[in-house]
Amino acid sequence: MNRAYKVLPVFAGDVSGACSALYELGGMVVLHDPSGCNSTYNTHDEVRWNKMESLIFISGLTDMDAITGNDEKLINDIVKAADELKPKFIALANSPIPYVNGTDFEYIAREVTKRCNIKTFAVFTNAFHDYTRGAGNAYLAVVNNLLEKKDRVKSEKIKVNLLGVTPLDFPRESDVKELTDFCKDNDFDLVANWSYFTSLEDILNSPKADVNIVVSSTGYLAAKRMEELFDIPYVVGMPTGEFKKALADDVKEVYESGESMVSYLNAGCTNSDENDNSAEIQSKRFIIGESVMAGSVAAAKRISEGKEYRAVITTEIYDGLKRDIDILCVGEEEVENVIKDCEYAWGDPMYKHLCSDSVAFEEVPHFALSGRVYM
Amino acid sequence: MLKRIGEEIKPQFSEVKIKNSIYPKPFDIGLEFNAPVHGTWNIVHIGFMMPEAHQVYVCADNCMRGVVMTAAEMNELDRFHSVTLFEKDLLNGSLENETIEGVSDVINKLDERPKIIELFTVCLHHFLGCDLDYVYATLEKRFPDIIFVRCFMDPILQRTSYTPEQKLRKAMLEFIKPLDVKKNIYLLGSDVKIRDCYIFDIASKYGYSVKQIHDMKTFDEYMEIGDGALYIANYPTGLYGVSELANRLNRPFLYLPYETTEEKINEDIILLDYVLSEINENIDHGCKIDISIVDKNNELVDDNVSINKEVLLDEYNVDIVDYIDKSDLITDDIVKLEDKIAEVKSIISDTEISVDYTAHPRPLGIARFLLDNGFNVKNVYLDAISPEEEENYYYLKEQYGELMLKATIHPEGRVIERDNRRVLAIGQKAAWFNNTTHFVNVIEGDGCIGYKGLMNLLDMMVEALGEEKDLDDIVPRKAVGLCSNCGIL
């Protein structure tokens, strides 16, 4: 059964993902929830709560308001707060009970926009998904609701956006610096970082970029949408170790070709024939975690060591972000079955509980999973 | 220092002078802010007070995250397990089966069979009409050696019914079986351990032991709660569960809360003394405990606790003035408290003081006590006024109308100026909202009951004034007094 957890925590949820993605953009995020979502988010899933203001609130939904469909209270409360706090936009996020009773968030968003003249939109969340889906949908909502096409001016440098930069995957300032340094080192001109150490103004300039670099799967939906709306191609990959050069080369190639790609899929593969990769299939060296991070680290290790490493993906995933030989796991039992007797594992220390003592385990805390425990 | 995102906002709706406020809701709160202050205990912390108990939560990912990470930071993941719900479970009407099979799967995977499982169902179970009787009956049949405790994480009901923590405190006592009465008094329903106070003095006078859950190491020891001669609740959210236990076991019960006025503290001391003397007489003569005490004291569960206590004392024909004159217990402590007040006043002087509701169940009572004794209390942080504080509220409104009431969950709280480092704060929220490093780091009254409790509080104020605490590292940690296995970035 893949729903029972004996020792592992669950990943940060979709509501936390949405909040994390929108945190620095100056909007007001309203979680339509009775209690708990905001506390969970700001305690376990957000490193900025005590350092930087952000207008993230819960609605304080009651059983009677849910049963009677009293959306008017929610609308009035949002308008009242918006009148006072003057956010740059308003985003609405859902939770289980409003999801079950079919609360019409599109209607509520329209009403709020009409009454307070501030752009309001819904971000699809329902608390049943992990942070990658919530942050991904939040970024998608930003593209759909806030971005406008801009003239792209040719320049000597390739202009890039970094998509998918939330503290859930990159909790420390140094993590973000590593990403921005990657741009500097390769002479890429960074237009916008989505969205840690950033601003709404930067984000609104994103359509000026030549290439989107998707550094975690949270940025994937936004990249796809920006490709549709603004003809910006994307490269998927997190710059790390020996994979950085391959990723940079792919950014340049995509800039020239206009064809998007997932960079780590073929990086460091000793055998280019997808149908003849028995050595890789046999590999029991695993990189465990979020799809882009795991895929990129596995690629870096393949390049640097010339050995096969496979990604074990434990978050939700979008089509096209894994190799056929990578492994997708849902729930603790599936992860345990894959990694318990492996040769080597790289991932959050929580996974170590599922491994036998013989496994060489490289501990790399993932904030979206173990939160503050290993910080 | 918080990085600002917009212009500074002058608070308009999140603070009010008490003379201009309305009881019991001084603020019109719609959307709610959650300050990064987490020292109070949640249902995970409370549930793990029961020795050897395991917890299983059945809910969606996002709801699970807060509780599982609480357990992780407590280093209690070995006793914490979860069953995640998927969207499809809402549509196919299988919530009962998914809950039963998920919990069974967890149990079957454990290396050792737990004696007791606190099973938490959630808002979704209520809204989808999940047949919880069927769920528990099936699990009990399948695992007859395990006690399943009915617990809830259903905050959507907390404004119109009991809160999840009130229900948990009740559930944690529902399976206690009656045992032969021993000379034991149980203080239950409090997260913090009750400190030395008149309860211990009076218990000792009649030869009783005072027991608290904090000292129980094994589940078998926990089950001995059934041998109590008297059950006492001190903390408001424990009242419901502890009174229900006493009622079910047909034993006496008293609510002896965190009073802050001489009159009320004296009433509680006298009441306990009389009740215990009556119980003692029955026990010493081999009689069953007088059920009339149970009946009388169960009235104390009513909202208007103080009136009922006066009625009760009247029924006992207690001459309060005479009792006080003859009681060293009271007169000695009053003198000591007066000395302590003078000593502390000379140190704290006119330092501005803020109090919050997380530090003490009677924040207005504490403000009243301090103001009446010449301290400079300026602000009380709370979002609503407890019925238990009605008298304190009207007293302060009349006597100290300039006292400010400040909300902690109003959206304005996110953007108002917080820099007031000269303040001596009583409580984490008061500390955070003033950004002061001088704060009394306690929750829920810290077990400070009666005169000795007030003296403890005064000592802690002096200590807080004298030394700086790391506000940014302390207040985001969960559950004052418990393991906090985490780093604060």
In chain A, positions 230-269, which contact chain B (CB-CB < 8 Å)? none
The third-level CATH classification (topology) of the domain covering A158-264 is Rossmann fold (3.40.50)
Nearest to A365 by CA among A49, A329, B72, A351: A351
CA angle B202, B205, B211 (to 5 degrees): 60
Element (H, E) at B139: helix B132-142
Nearest to B452 by CA among B202, B266, B203, B198: B198
pLDDT tens by residue, A293-323: 999 999 999 999 999 999 999 999 999 999 9
CB of B171 closer than 8 Å to CB of B118: yes
The third-level CATH classification (topology) of the domain covering A14-146 is Rossmann fold (3.40.50)
Element (H, E) at A332: helix A332-339
Q: Where are the domains of chain A?
A: 14-146, 158-264, 278-370
* A52–B2 C-beta distance less than 8 A: yes
CA distance B275 to B297: 9
- A-B Cβ pairs (cutoff 8 Å, strict): 230
**CB-CB: which of B32, B123, B412 is closest to A97?**
B123
Helix (H, G, I), strand (E, B) or coil at A230: helix
Residue recorded with tokens 């009394």: B440
Nearest to B38 by CA among B70, B4, B81: B70
How far is A25 from chain B, CA to nearest CA, in Å? 9
* A5–B38 C-beta distance less than 8 A: no
Cβ-Cβ contacts under 8 Å for A286 (sequence gap 6 or more): A309, A310, A311, A312, A327, A338, A339, A342, A344, A345, A346, A347
Instruction: Spell out which residues of chain B touch residue A42, defining contact as CB-CB under 8 Å.
Output: 34, 36
* A81–B127 C-beta distance less than 8 A: no
Q: Going by DSSP bridges, is the β-strand pair B352-356/B253-255 parallel, antiparallel, or unpaired?
A: unpaired
What's residue B399's pLDDT? 98
Burial class, B392, CB count within 10 angstroms (exposed 0-12 / middle 13-18 / buried 19+):
buried
* B32–A57 C-beta distance less than 8 A: yes
For A18, name the nearest residue in chain B, comparing CA atoms only.
B62
Instruction: Spell out which residues of chain B touch residue A43, defining contact as CB-CB under 8 Å.
Output: 36, 38, 66, 69, 476, 478
**CB-CB: which of B78, B85, B155 is closest to A34?**
B155
CB of B78 closer than 8 Å to CB of B53: no
DSSP track, A24-77: TSS-EEEE--SSSHHHHHHHHS-SSTTTB--EEEE----HHHHHHT-HHHHHHH
CB of B240 closer than 8 Å to CB of B169: yes
Find how far residue A176's CA is from the centre of its chain: 14
Instruction: Spell out which residues of chain B touch residue A1, defining contact as CB-CB under 8 Å.
Output: 101-102, 105
For B415, name the nearest residue in chain A, comparing CA atoms only.
A53
Cβ-Cβ contacts under 8 Å for B112 (sequence gap 6 or more): none
Single-letter code of the amino acid located at B220: D
* A3–B85 C-beta distance less than 8 A: yes
Q: Tens of pLDDT along chain B (489 residues)?
A: 566 666 667 888 999 999 999 999 999 999 999 999 999 999 999 999 999 999 999 999 999 999 999 999 999 999 999 999 999 888 888 899 999 999 999 999 999 999 999 999 999 999 999 999 999 999 999 999 999 999 999 999 888 889 999 999 999 999 999 999 999 999 999 999 999 999 999 999 999 999 999 999 999 999 999 999 999 999 999 999 999 999 999 999 999 999 999 999 999 999 999 889 888 777 766 555 544 444 444 444 444 444 466 666 777 777 778 888 777 788 899 999 999 999 999 999 999 999 999 999 999 999 999 999 999 999 999 999 999 999 999 999 999 999 999 999 999 999 998 888 899 999 999 999 999 999 999 999 999 999 999 999 999 999 999 999 999 999 999 999 999 999 987
* CATH architecture assigned to A278-370: 3-Layer(aba) Sandwich (3.40)
DSSP track, B236-298: GGGHHHHHHHHHHHT--EEE-----SHHHHHHHHHHHHHHHHHHHHHHHTTPPP-HHHHHHHH
Q: What are residue B187's phi and psi, to 5 degrees?
A: -95, 110
Average pLDDT over residues A224-241: 98
Instruction: Spell out which residues of chain A touch residue B33, defining contact as CB-CB under 8 Å.
Output: 38, 57
- By the CB < 8 Å criterion, does A372 face chain B? yes
Helices (H), A69-219: 71-85, 96-100, 105-116, 131-146, 173-185, 200-204
Cβ-Cβ contacts under 8 Å for B52 (sequence gap 6 or more): B114, B115, B116, B218, B219
Single-letter code of the amino acid located at A189: D
CB of B59 closer than 8 Å to CB of A4: no
Instruction: Identify the bridge partners of residue A158 per DSSP, sorted by sequence position.
Output: A188
Q: What are residue A265's phi and psi, to 5 degrees?
A: -60, -40
Structural Rg of chain A based on CA atoms: 21
**CB-CB: which of B4, B63, B87 is closest to A36?**
B63
pLDDT tens by residue, A160-205: 999 999 999 999 999 999 999 999 999 999 999 999 999 999 999 9
Handedness of CA A129, B157, B193, B120 (dihedral sign): negative
Instruction: Spell out which residues of chain A touch residue B485, defining contact as CB-CB under 8 Å.
Output: 373
pTM for the whole structure = 0.94
Burial class, B250, CB count within 10 angstroms (exposed 0-12 / middle 13-18 / buried 19+):
exposed
Instruction: Spell out which residues of chain B touch residue A351, defining contact as CB-CB under 8 Å.
Output: none
Handedness of CA B428, B429, B432, B437 (dihedral sign): negative
CA distance B469 to B477: 14
CA distance B64 to B46: 17
Average pLDDT over residues A14-40: 94
What's residue B421's pLDDT? 83
- For residue B106, what is the DSSP state? H
- By the CB < 8 Å criterion, does A197 face chain B? no
Least confident of A20-34, A84-98, B288-302, B442-456: B288-302
In chain A, positions 161-190, which contact chain B (CB-CB < 8 Å)? 171-172
CB of B275 closer than 8 Å to CB of B293: yes
Polymer length in residues for chain A: 375
What's residue B295's pLDDT? 42
**CB-CB: which of A50, A81, A97 is closest to B156?**
A97
CB of A86 closer than 8 Å to CB of B6: yes
Strand spans (E) along B174-222: 184-188, 209-212
DSSP track, A107-124: HHHHHHHHHH-S-EEEE-
**CB-CB: which of B72, B84, B102 is closest to A371?**
B72
Q: Going by DSSP bridges, is the β-strand pair A234-236/A310-313 parallel, antiparallel, or unpaired?
A: unpaired
Instruction: Identify the bridge partners of residue B48 per DSSP, sorted by sequence position.
Output: none
Buried b (16+ CB within 10 A) or exposed e, B166-197: bbbbbbbbeebeeeebebbbbbbbbbbebbeb
Q: What percent of chain A has a predicted confidence (pLDDT) above 90?
A: 91
DSSP track, B325-370: HH-HHHHHHHHHHHHHHHHHHHHHTT-EEEEETTT-S-HHHHHHHH
Give the max Cα distance, chain B: 73
How far is B435 from chain A, CA to nearest CA, in Å? 11
* B486–A6 C-beta distance less than 8 A: no
CB of A9 closer than 8 Å to CB of A369: yes
Helices (H) and strands (E) in chain A, counts: 15, 15
Q: Going by DSSP bridges, is the β-strand pair B15-17/B404-406 parallel, antiparallel, or unpaired?
A: antiparallel
Instruction: Spell out which residues of chain A touch residue B415, defining contact as CB-CB under 8 Å.
Output: 53, 55, 85
Buried b (16+ CB within 10 A) or exposed e, B229-241: bbbbbbbbbbbbb
**CB-CB: which of A7, A44, A86 is closest to B6?**
A86
* A6–B102 C-beta distance less than 8 A: no
Q: Going by DSSP bridges, is the β-strand pair B376-381/B404-406 parallel, antiparallel, or unpaired?
A: parallel
Q: Which domains does chain B have, with CATH numbers?
A: 43-171 (3.40.50.1980), 184-326 (3.40.50), 348-474 (3.40.50)
* A62–B159 C-beta distance less than 8 A: yes
